[in-house]
Amino acid sequence: MVTSAAARPLHALAPADAASAGALTATAPNPMEADMVALVAATPVAVAAVPAVVPVAPVVVPVAPAARPAPAPQAAAPAHRAPSAPPASLHLAAAQPPAVAAPPLPAAARAVEAALKELGKPYRYGALGPSTFDCSGLTKFAYGAAGISLPHSAAAQYQSGHRVNRNQLQPGDLIFWRGLGHVGLYIGNGKMVHAPRTGEVVTVISIDQGGYLGAVRPGT
């Protein structure tokens, strides 16, 4: 029985036939592989886009020049200033003379001051103060404060000083009424301070109220 080469198994083929059969086997398409090739061919391949290179202009950053040290300040030439005026206090000191103690008040002014301090004290006959007075006791007390001693009666005091006219009266003069029964101390402006009578107090009245007789200036 003659067996054809096509019907024989590959291992029964002659070497030359086996080679031919291998070639046929290699060249014959495999159905599974063909399907895979077709699938790959049909699948789109995603290709990553390559970003285009955009030319970037170089950024020029201005650089400030390094600060140079400032020149050292030069000492200013001393200005010729006018001499300053002396303080006002010096002018005042120069304009005002040194303080001089005020001279003591004249005896008459001190006597008036002393008598006016006794206003309101009660009258008592023969009293010389300091809590009660009669008329000549008040004038004697007032001039005693000024350093001048007077007798203790109106008539005696009328003889103890220089007589003055009425138009020349000055504060401190002794004022006498008619009969020399009363005396007061002139304080100016036609008035006198006196101790009037029992039941009354030291007060100020007009020199014409009791009948003016005359005036005497003690200590002259």
Domain assignments of the chain as residue spans, ordered by start: 107-218
162 is catalytic: no
194 catalytic per annotation: yes
98-156 tens-digit pLDDT: 555 555 569 999 999 999 999 999 999 999 999 999 999 999 999 999 999 999 999 99
Residue pLDDT, tens place only, 179-200: 999 999 999 999 999 999 999 9
The conformational region for residue 75 under phi > 0 = left, psi -120 to 50 = alpha, else beta, is beta
Q: Which of 80, 91, 162, 182 is catalytic?
A: 182
C-alpha 113: how far from its chain's center? Answer: 46
For 85-98, write each residue's pLDDT tens digit.
Answer: 656 555 545 555 55
Residue from 11, 91, 162, 194 carrying the catalytic annotation:
194
| Cβ within 8 Å of residue 170, ≥6 positions away | 108, 164, 186, 188, 217
Q: Which of 11, 91, 135, 162 does the annotation list as catalytic?
A: 135
Q: Under CATH, to which class is 107-218 assigned?
A: alpha beta
